A and B are shown apart, each in its own frame.
Chain A
């Protein structure tokens, strides 16, 4: 261990209803150190960080800052203690300016009043660290920025605090290569000035590029700690805990891939352009790209939530005019949203109700809610059983279930309608590893049963492991097509459209 860590977390445990998030996790970071925190989605990284930053209180364990124990009850206390976090979900206020966001809750005062001039000057100074090329004006409203700029603002916000500890939770998810380089240079500079940096990522090449040490979390426990950056394989093994081959199901055999189910030609709307696309029965097509590249927008367009304004969509060779999600569902398309809480679940309703929701939406309005032409309650129970949804009772409210079980219940929702095309957006975000594997197998089973599966994911290993074919998007366009033998580097290259270092 380091001599005098800036912060030290000792034997932290934390549970939420339905899931044990952390179990006796210890973690520390010293002055001038970049400590990479790796782990799959749902491994507990975010929870650990939220405990460090005072959002959650640990069930047990201690947080020490400069050697003294702290009990943060509010994020403000952590901020005062010198801990600043760049969260994965943006925490910016779209209706406020860049400068106002940067100084949220700690505006510079002069004579007790907000010193707008100082605020803007300081904002400009911090933003210049990213290079003038980006030219984000401090007075711009955040809503008017693109995703990468918003991410920059988010990073600038954390840096401007002059904190002792800066936590970066997947800061590069929306950045292209050049922007990443700016960030890395910034990290180097911060390290040189003695800041302790916790860097969360699952991109191995970033670990190799900037980390001093690596800690790997899996299922809420520390599975490995490296004092030097090891070979990527070692990290991956610690993250996954078993062989990849076991983790991901076998790919489709050539004869399993069947006819074209869905085709798009010339599809476009305000977010995506020139979309030509074919989804085939039995095939899982992975969509890779940076945040904001248009993958989700494409999924939403196919699903009618943000419909195409031009172009042609066919299903089973028949032209379809999909203007609303209901049109899409009638045409045989299903979708599992990425942000389950915001867009997928009706949390106060029972597991059963969540599963039955879509079937009921297309049944007779005043028909009994126990059975409809798609499925009845016992059929739903059987489906949930088959997917091994774990709940004390299917009458249990959805909010008490763990992420994986919630996701499976939503899959059941679609299975009841036997869709021809099923779109998964970030299917394993916030799901523990075991459940993850079963989701992959579920997708594969669906494909084998003849469904065309589309998967949007930001997790490159997942894209590579679970897809039969990979499409990469950038700036709203499909810019590359790969087989599952492609490397992460190739995908990144296509996704960023710039020269990339060869890494993991």
Chain B
């Protein structure tokens, strides 16, 4: 088979590279057409644009991390639990005291990094399928968390709520933060050796190993980043909800949704191909869909049906053209 698979025609249009942009444009077009058709032009304002972009900050931050995990041909189902844990620890540690803001954030980030480290170690050293490893981790975190807390616990000081509610003009800090984080992630993937290694390990683990890359470290690193992002998302959610509860991660279905937006953004589940901006496009598409549903007054149940179909259709939009077999 080697001969054929490599015997490709040179220089063809790389559809996958542009598909997420096409999908985003389609969603925007649909939204605008819908507003015009319904005569709801009052939604075509900058305020509303900001509101739409700001809908999915938690999902966006989580998805940035999930992009790393998926690029390296892994996956992380534990992000929702990490979000809950991070939010609860944030709010319990701060407990209204502004002086505890920095220690709390540091502790939560350390917690996130530790969880990512364990995920990575279980996947690389015990060679447990990432799906199972992170699902198991998710159950464990959720269990430990619900053992100690069963409601909203603690609260964050008013000063800390600026993270979620403060704004620069009409643009919330959190939105700027998300895009800054995405920029940072893009930078890491594009300009650092670690970022390059992520693509290599995700693309072909054996080749990466032969080239002298310590593949296990790269996988672990990707998982640490993934869990760190989930922890940041949890911190943000604590600021937004003013407190943390052990169910808020699961409530938002951030595990499956983050995977869905990453895949819709054109990062392939098999790893090695994709990027952050696709993921951000995926996040915005999700926000737009939500807004479209709200504007059109779609019934909650119909909404769910449509959302399921959209996820599959969007992924099919790329995948059907790919020659690779899928599992």
Where the two chains meet, the residues of A that have a C-beta atom closer than 8 Å to any C-beta of B are: 53, 55, 74-76, 78-80, 85, 87, 89-96, 100, 104-107, 109, 112-114, 116, 143-147, 150, 157, 270-271, 291-297, 300, 306, 337-339, 342-343
- In the complex, the chain A residue whose C-beta lies closest to that of B213 is A105
Interfacial chain A residues near B2, Cβ < 8 Å: 89-90, 291, 296, 338-339
Interfacial chain A residues near B196, Cβ < 8 Å: 100, 104-105, 107, 114
Query: B207 at interface (Cβ–Cβ under 8 A)?
Result: yes
In the complex the two chains form, what is the Cα distance from A94 to B4 in whole Å? 14
- In the complex, the chain B residue whose C-beta lies closest to that of A108 is B193
B212 touches A76 (CB 8 A): yes
A271 touches B7 (CB 8 A): yes
Where the two chains meet, the residues of B that have a C-beta atom closer than 8 Å to any C-beta of A are: 1-4, 6-12, 190-193, 195-197, 199-200, 203-204, 206-214, 272-273
Can you name 22 A-B residue pairings with CB atoms under 8 Å?
A75-B212, A87-B210, A89-B2, A90-B6, A91-B204, A94-B6, A100-B196, A100-B199, A104-B213, A105-B212, A106-B211, A109-B193, A113-B192, A114-B190, A114-B191, A144-B10, A146-B7, A292-B6, A292-B7, A297-B4, A337-B1, A339-B2
> Contacts A144-B8, A337-B1, A338-B1 hold; do A74 and B209 have CB atoms under 8 A apart?
yes
Shortest beta-carbon distance, B173 to chain A, in Å? Answer: 27
Shortest beta-carbon distance, A413 to chain B, in Å? Answer: 18
B192 touches A104 (CB 8 A): no
A105 touches B3 (CB 8 A): no
Interfacial chain A residues near B214, Cβ < 8 Å: 74, 76
Shortest beta-carbon distance, A376 to chain B, in Å? Answer: 31
Query: Lowest 7 A-B CB distances belong to which pairs?
Result: A76-B212, A91-B207, A104-B211, A105-B213, A79-B212, A105-B211, A93-B203
Interfacial chain B residues near A78, Cβ < 8 Å: 212
B3 touches A147 (CB 8 A): yes
B210 touches A96 (CB 8 A): no
B9 touches A270 (CB 8 A): yes
Shortest beta-carbon distance, A99 to chain B, in Å? Answer: 11
> Contacts A95-B203, A147-B7 hold; do A339 and B1 have CB atoms under 8 A apart?
yes
> Contacts A93-B204, A96-B200, A113-B191 hold; do A143 and B4 have CB atoms under 8 A apart?
no
A75 touches B3 (CB 8 A): no
A93 touches B192 (CB 8 A): no
> Contacts A53-B210, A75-B210, A296-B4 hold; do A146 and B193 have CB atoms under 8 A apart?
no
- In the complex, the chain A residue whose C-beta lies closest to that of B12 is A144
B10 touches A104 (CB 8 A): no
- In the complex, the chain B residue whose C-beta lies closest to that of A91 is B207
Interfacial chain B residues near A297, Cβ < 8 Å: 3-4, 7
Interfacial chain A residues near B10, Cβ < 8 Å: 144-146
Interfacial chain A residues near B192, Cβ < 8 Å: 112-114
In the complex the two chains form, what is the Cα distance from A95 to B223 in whole Å? 22
Of the candidates B6, B199, B209, the one whose C-beta lies within 8 Å of that of A147 is B6
In the complex the two chains form, what is the Cα distance from A338 to B3 in whole Å? 10
Of the candidates B1, B191, B197, the one whose C-beta lies within 8 Å of that of A105 is B197
Interfacial chain A residues near B190, Cβ < 8 Å: 114
Shortest beta-carbon distance, A175 to chain B, in Å? Answer: 14
Interfacial chain A residues near B12, Cβ < 8 Å: 144
In the complex the two chains form, what is the Cα distance from A147 to B9 in whole Å? 11
B191 touches A300 (CB 8 A): no
Interfacial chain A residues near B206, Cβ < 8 Å: 91
Interfacial chain A residues near B1, Cβ < 8 Å: 296, 300, 337-339, 342-343
Interfacial chain A residues near B211, Cβ < 8 Å: 75, 79, 91, 104-106, 157
Shortest beta-carbon distance, B271 to chain A, in Å? Answer: 10
Interfacial chain A residues near B273, Cβ < 8 Å: 95
- In the complex, the chain B residue whose C-beta lies closest to that of A119 is B196
B209 touches A75 (CB 8 A): yes
- In the complex, the chain B residue whose C-beta lies closest to that of A147 is B6
In the complex the two chains form, what is the Cα distance from A296 to B6 in whole Å? 12
Shortest beta-carbon distance, B190 to chain A, in Å? Answer: 8
In the complex the two chains form, what is the Cα distance from A291 to B200 in whole Å? 25
Shortest beta-carbon distance, B324 to chain A, in Å? Answer: 11
Interfacial chain B residues near A342, Cβ < 8 Å: 1
Of the candidates A104, A112, A114, A293, the one whose C-beta lies within 8 Å of that of B208 is A104
- In the complex, the chain B residue whose C-beta lies closest to that of A145 is B10
B208 touches A105 (CB 8 A): yes
> Contacts A104-B213, A295-B3 hold; do A92 and B207 have CB atoms under 8 A apart?
yes
Of the candidates A75, A93, A144, A300, the one whose C-beta lies within 8 Å of that of B200 is A93
B6 touches A150 (CB 8 A): yes
In the complex the two chains form, what is the Cα distance from A271 to B192 in whole Å? 38
Shortest beta-carbon distance, B72 to chain A, in Å? Answer: 13
Interfacial chain B residues near A75, Cβ < 8 Å: 209-212
Shortest beta-carbon distance, B283 to chain A, in Å? Answer: 23
Interfacial chain B residues near A291, Cβ < 8 Å: 2-3
> Contacts A75-B212, A297-B3, A300-B4 hold; do A105 and B200 have CB atoms under 8 A apart?
yes
In the complex the two chains form, what is the Cα distance from A112 to B193 in whole Å? 8
> Contacts A75-B209, A104-B208, A106-B212 hold; do A292 and B3 have CB atoms under 8 A apart?
yes
In the complex the two chains form, what is the Cα distance from A93 to B197 in whole Å? 11
Interfacial chain A residues near B9, Cβ < 8 Å: 270
Interfacial chain B residues near A292, Cβ < 8 Å: 3, 6-7
In the complex the two chains form, what is the Cα distance from A336 to B165 in whole Å? 65
> Contacts A93-B207, A107-B193, A109-B193 hold; do A143 and B8 have CB atoms under 8 A apart?
yes
> Contacts A105-B197, A113-B192 hold; do A296 and B210 have CB atoms under 8 A apart?
no
Interfacial chain A residues near B200, Cβ < 8 Å: 93, 96, 104-105
In the complex the two chains form, what is the Cα distance from A105 to B193 in whole Å? 7
In the complex the two chains form, what is the Cα distance from A296 to B4 in whole Å? 7
> Contacts A104-B213, A342-B1 hold; do A114 and B193 have CB atoms under 8 A apart?
yes
In the complex the two chains form, what is the Cα distance from A76 to B191 in whole Å? 21
In the complex the two chains form, what is the Cα distance from A157 to B210 in whole Å? 12
- In the complex, the chain B residue whose C-beta lies closest to that of A109 is B193
Interfacial chain B residues near A55, Cβ < 8 Å: 209-210
Of the candidates A107, A116, A157, A271, the one whose C-beta lies within 8 Å of that of B4 is A271
In the complex the two chains form, what is the Cα distance from A113 to B206 in whole Å? 25
In the complex the two chains form, what is the Cα distance from A146 to B7 in whole Å? 6
A95 touches B272 (CB 8 A): yes
Q: Which residue, B3, B12, B199, B212, has most C-beta atoms of chain A within 10 A?
A: B3
Shortest beta-carbon distance, A53 to chain B, in Å? Answer: 7
Of the candidates B11, B207, B272, the one whose C-beta lies within 8 Å of that of A144 is B11
In the complex the two chains form, what is the Cα distance from A297 to B8 in whole Å? 12
- In the complex, the chain A residue whose C-beta lies closest to that of B199 is A96
Shortest beta-carbon distance, B29 to chain A, in Å? Answer: 29
